[in-house]
C-alpha cells in the first residue's frame, strides 16, 4: 500500500471504461478532468463511468476538475497546427481568425494593451518564443525568436507582464457551477495570484450550497509565490504546476520552489501535489528516462502528498504503463523515506492541542510497536488528516459513514479511506476496526493496530482516545 497518492488526468487515450478500470486497479487515487481541454459532455461521460466503476469495484476514486482560469490561449489553426520559423514575422489578432504560419488569434482582447514593445511572449510552455516589435489597431506584430510547431488551444505566457484579466471569467463561473452539480471532490483553480482569488471561489461554492468540494490552488506565477503562505492557509491544498510556472519564472528556480511549497504545506497540514512532465517521455516511449524516475522519487522523498500524470494519460501511447511505473517508483522511494525525522519535525511545528498530542503519540507508538495499521473511525476526516501530517510508518485506514469525507481523504498521504455503516457504540468501533485491518492487511496473530479518533461520534470535535489492539 503506497502512501503517496497518484492523480491521473483522463483524456482521449483513457476515455474508454476498460482503460479507466485498469487505471483504478493499478493505483489511481484521483481522476482529473481539465476544463481547458474537456467539454461538459466528455466530463459527464467520464464521471458517470468512474461512479459506475466505484460501485462495481468497491473503490472510492475521487474526481478533480481544473478551471481554465485567467489564462491566455491561442485559437485554432488551419489543419489544427502550424510551424513558426525563426526570423519570420507573425501577427497576433485580438479577434478570432483561423491561424496559419503568419497569424493567429487569442482569447483575451486586452493583451494588446498589456504587453509592451520588446516583451517576450512564450507559447506552449515556452517551447516557442516571440518578441513584440509593433502594434496595429487590432493585432500585435511579433518576430519569431524560437521556432517550432504549434497546435490549437495552446497557452500563451508573457513573463513579467501584469495581465488585467479578472480571476473568474463568465466561463469559470459556469464551470464551477457545473462541477458543483456533478459532485466534484477537488476543484483545482488555475493561475491563482493571491488568497482573494480562493476566497472568491469559496464564496461562490457557499452560494451554491456546496460544503464538500476541496479547493486546490495551482501555483503558476510569481505573484502566487509571493503570497504563498496566505494561499496555503485559505486552500485545502496546493499544486506545484511546473509547466506554466517554469515559463513565468526562470526554470532553474522551480525545483527549490517545489521543495519549499511541499514543506510549507506539510507544516500547515495541507495537501501538496507535484505536477507536469513527471514521466513526459512516456507520451511516446514505453519507459521513462532515468531523470524522470529521479524526479518522481525526489518528489516522494520531499514528502509530497501526491504526484500527477497529465499528457502521459490524456494523449500518451502508454497510459496504464505510465501509471504502473509511477506506482513502482513511489514504492521504491518510500522505503528510503525518513519517517521518524519527519515525525519530530511535525511535532515541533504542531499546534499544541489535544488532537495534535494524541496524533503524535499514535504515530510514535505505531513506529515503536511496529503496528500494522492505524485505524481512524471519523465523520469529518479531521483526525485522519491530522494523522497524515505526522507521516506514521504504517497505513492510516480512515473508516467513515460519510461518502464526502471518504472522497476528501483520497489525496492525503498514507490515508486509505473506506465507507462503512454508521457506528454508534465504542465496542462496534473497535470490532469494525479489527475487521477492516484483517481484511485489508497481511497480518498474523499477535500483530498490533492502533485505533484513534473522537468519541462519541458527532458529539466531540477533537480526537480523545487511542487504543492498541492485538489481532
Annotated active-site residue 91? The verdict is: no
SS3 state at 12? helix
| From 73, 127, 154, 259, the catalytic residue | 73
- CA atoms of 29 and 59, how far apart (whole Å): 9
* Candidate list 14, 276, 314, 320, residue with the active-site label: 276
218 is known as an active-site residue: yes
SS3 441: coil
Give dist(CA 362, CA 396) in Å, integer: 11
Determine the Cα–Cα distance for residues 316 and 279; give it in Å rounded to an integer: 10
- The neighbouring-strand residues paired with 33 are 65
Instruction: Characterize 2-26 residue by residue with b for buried, 16 or more Cβ atoms within 10 angstroms of its Cβ, and e for exposed.
Output: bbbbbbbbbbebbeebebbbbbbeb
Choice among 3, 5, 21, 32 that is catalytic: 32
The answer to whether the CB of 88 falls within 8 A of the CB of 144 is yes
Q: Which residue has the cell 467520464?
A: 46
* Closest listed residue to residue 221, CA positions, set 69, 357, 97, 74: 69
Angle at 387 between CA 361 and CA 209, to 5 degrees: 145
Question: Active site includes 32?
Answer: yes
**From the CA atom positions of the chain, what is the Rg in Å?**
23
Instruction: Report how far residue 427's alpha carbon sits from residue 429's, in angstroms, rounded to the nearest whole number.
Output: 5
* Residue located via cell numbers 504515530: 363
For 214, the grid coordinates are 476541496
Name the catalytic one among 5, 218, 386, 448: 218
73 is catalytic: yes
Residues taking part in catalysis? 32, 73, 218, 276
Amino acid at each position: 500500500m503506497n502512501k503517496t497518492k497518484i492523480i491521473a488526468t483522463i483524456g482521449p487515450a483513457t476515455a474508454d471504461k476498460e482503460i479507466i478500470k485498469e487505471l483504478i486497479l493499478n493505483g489511481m487515487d484521483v481522476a482529473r478532468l481539465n476544463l481547458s481541454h474537456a467539454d461538459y459532455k466528455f466530463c459527464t461521460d467520464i464521471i458517470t463511468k468512474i461512479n459506475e466503476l466505484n460501485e462495481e469495484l468497491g473503490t472510492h476514486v475521487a474526481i478533480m476538475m481544473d478551471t481554465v482560469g485567467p489564462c491566455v490561449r491561442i485559437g485554432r489553426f488551419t489543419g489544427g497546427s502550424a510551424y513558426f520559423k525563426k526570423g519570420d514575422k507573425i501577427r497576433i489578432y485580438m479577434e478570432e481568425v483561423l491561424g496559419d504560419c503568419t497569424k493567429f488569434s487569442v482569447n483575451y482582447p486586452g493583451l494588446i494593451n498589456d504587453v509592451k514593445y520588446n516583451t517576450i511572449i512564450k507559447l506552449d510552455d515556452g517551447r516557442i518564443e516571440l518578441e513584440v516589435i509593433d502594434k496595429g489597431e487590432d493585432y500585435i506584430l511579433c518576430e519569431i525568436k524560437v521556432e517550432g510547431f504549434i497546435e490549437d488551444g495552446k497557452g500563451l505566457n508573457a513573463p513579467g507582464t501584469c495581465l488585467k484579466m479578472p480571476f473568474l471569467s463568465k466561463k469559470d463561473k459556469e464551470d464551477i457551477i457545473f462541477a458543483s452539480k456533478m459532485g466534484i471532490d477537488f476543484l483545482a483553480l488555475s493561475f491563482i495570484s493571491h488568497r482573494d482569488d480562493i476566497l472568491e471561489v469559496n464564496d461562490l461554492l457557499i452560494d451554491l450550497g456546496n460544503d464538500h468540494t476541496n479547493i486546490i490552488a495551482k501555483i503558476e506565477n510569481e505573484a502566487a509565490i509571493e503570497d504563498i503562505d496566505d494561499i496555503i492557509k485559505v486552500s485545502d491544498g496546493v499544486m506545484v504546476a511546473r509547466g506554466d510556472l517554469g515559463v513565468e519564472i526562470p526554470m532553474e528556480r522551480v525545483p527549490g520552489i517545489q521543495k519549499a511549497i511541499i514543506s510549507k504545506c506539510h507544516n500547515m497540514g495541507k495537501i501538496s501535489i507535484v505536477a507536469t512532465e513527471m514521466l513526459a517521455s512516456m507520451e511516446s516511449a514505453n519507459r521513462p528516462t532515468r531523470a524522470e524516475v529521479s524526479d518522481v522519487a525526489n518528489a516522494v522523498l520531499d514528502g509530497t502528498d501526491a504526484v500527477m500524470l497529465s499528457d502521459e494519460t490524456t494523449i500518451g501511447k502508454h497510459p496504464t504503463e505510465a501509471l504502473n511505473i509511477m506506482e513502482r517508483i513511489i514504492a521504491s522511494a518510500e522505503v528510503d523515506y525518513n519517517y521518524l525525522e519527519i515525525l519530530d519535525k511535525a511535532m515541533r511545528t504542531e499546534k499544541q492541542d489535544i488532537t495534535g498530542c494524541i496524533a503524535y503519540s499514535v504515530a510514535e507508538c505505531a513506529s515503536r510497536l511496529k503496528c500494522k495499521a492505524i485505524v481512524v473511525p471519523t465523520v469529518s476526516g479531521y483526525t485522519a488528516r491530522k494523522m497524515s501530517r505526522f507521516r506514521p510508518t504504517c497505513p492510516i485506514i480512515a473508516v467513515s459513514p460519510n461518502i464526502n469525507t471518504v472522497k476528501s481523504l483520497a489525496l492525503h498521504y498514507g490515508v486509505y479511506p473506506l465507507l462503512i455503516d454508521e457506528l454508534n457504540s465504542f465496542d462496534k468501533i473497535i470490532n469494525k476496526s479489527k475487521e477492516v485491518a484483517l481484511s485489508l492487511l497481511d497480518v498474523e496473530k499477535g500483530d498490533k493496530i492502533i485505533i484513534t479518533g473522537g468519541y462519541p461520534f458527532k458529539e466531540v470535535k477533537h480526537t480523545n482516545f487511542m487504543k492498541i489492539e492485538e489481532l
